[in-house]
Amino acid sequence: MKGTWGHGLRTVGDTTLRIVERIGAVVLFLGQILRHSGTSFRRFGLVIREIYFAGVQSLIIILVSGLFVGMVLGLQGFETLQSYGSSESVGVLVALSLMRELGPVVSALLFASRAGSAITAEIGLMKATEQLSAMEMMAVNPLARVVSPRFWGGVFSLPVLATLFVAMGIMGGFLVTVIMLKVDSGAFWSQMQAAVDFHHDIVNGMIKSIVFGVAVSAIATFEGYEAPPTAEGVSGATTRTVVSSSLAILALDLLLTAFMMKGWN
């Protein structure tokens, strides 16, 4: 009996230590990326290429999901607000929930699964096929040439994608509530404009998505760079990227929201 308890406790301790170790490793890796970022900015073409793969190619999924999320918010909000006789406030509901939470978070989650996993798989495969070692042989630092452009590409892309997500979501909400459910268009916009504050809602949403961009890109490049150089290893790393970025996004969101709320009062 005592043996099982001890074993269980050891497992918990082991898992905790491994998680903490992993977080520490990602942070150290982030530091290394930043140290080797000089090349990315001197040869900005490298970053532009990554913005294309991470950002431009994620456009469709982000725009379409933004539109759908906005439409659903409009429908649900209208349904509930109507019973209080304030269906005009649906614009406020759509805009604020998109800007403060859904825009940054959902687009970061989509970005992690669409672009983050691709980054991990690409770097992992480069490592498995010894392309990274070959670069080192030619005195090219793979951190500077391969990892850091992908990192910065992700960091630049996500805020843009999140902004587009929010804009698209508001259009979706407008479409459903004003065009379909006949909410007054003037009230929809004016109530929204009265409630949304540039600094407290728009800028804070941007800050969130920049933080998420750093987290997702760091995790994705880290998992790829540290992936065991086998087919299995790369597939495991891809899965881990999606899982740990999603958890990181949600945890950071709670933290950031708590801090920003504190600043409001």
Partner 1 sequence: MNRATLNLWVGFFVLLGFVAFLMLAFKVGNLNLDGSGGTYEVVAHFDNIGQLKERAPVRSAGVLVGRVHSVRFDTLHYNAEVRMAIDTQYHFPVDSSASVLTSGILGEQYVGLDAGGDDKMLKNGDELKLTQGAMVLERLIGQFLFNKAQDGGADKTSNR
C-alpha pair distances (Å), 258 with each of 82, 92, 97, 199, 215: 30, 21, 15, 16, 18
Q: Tell me how far apart the alpha carbons of residues 123 and 142 are, in angstroms, rounded to a whole number.
A: 10
> Does residue 260 belong to the site contacting partner 1 (CB under 8 A)?
no
User: At closest approach, how far in Å is the CB of 87 from partner 1?
Assistant: 15
What's the rounded Cα separation, in Å, for the pair 214 and 252? Answer: 11
Please report whether residue 106 would count as binding partner 1 according to CB under 8 A. no
Residue 217 C-beta: closest distance to partner 1, Å: 17
Interacting residues with partner 1 between 149 and 168 (CB under 8 A): 157, 159-161, 163-164, 166-168
Residue from 19, 20, 194, 243 touching partner 1 (CB under 8 A): that is 194
What spatial distance separates the first Cα and last Cα of the chain, rounded to whole Å? 53
- Cβ distance 47 to 149 under 8 Å? yes
Is residue 248 exposed (0-12), middle (13-18) or buried (19+ Cβ within 10 Å)? buried
CB 67 within 8 A of CB 171: yes
Residue 2 beta carbon to partner 1: minimum distance, rounded to whole angstroms: 58
156 CB contacts (<8 Å, ≥6 apart)? 47, 51, 55, 213
CA-to-CA dists, residue 245 to 146, 218, 251, angstroms? 20, 9, 10
Among 20, 25, 48, 255, binds partner 1 (CB under 8 A): 48
Sign of the alpha-carbon torsion through 254, 111, 74, 100: positive
Please list every residue from 65 through 104 that binds partner 1, using CB under 8 A: 95, 99
Q: Is 105 an interacting residue with respect to partner 1 (CB under 8 A)?
A: no
Instruction: Give yes or no for residue 52 binding partner 1 (CB under 8 A).
Output: yes
201 binds partner 1 (CB under 8 A): yes
175 is a site residue for partner 1 (CB under 8 A): no
**Least CB distance from residue 261 to partner 1, whole Å?**
13
Instruction: Pick between residue 8 and residue 186 the one whose CB is nearest to partner 1.
Output: 186
What is the nearest approach in angstroms of partner 1 to the Cβ of residue 93? 13
Q: Which residues of the shown chain bind partner 1 in the complex (CB under 8 A)?
A: 45, 48-49, 51-52, 55-56, 59, 95, 99, 157, 159-161, 163-164, 166-168, 170, 189, 192-194, 196-198, 201-202, 265
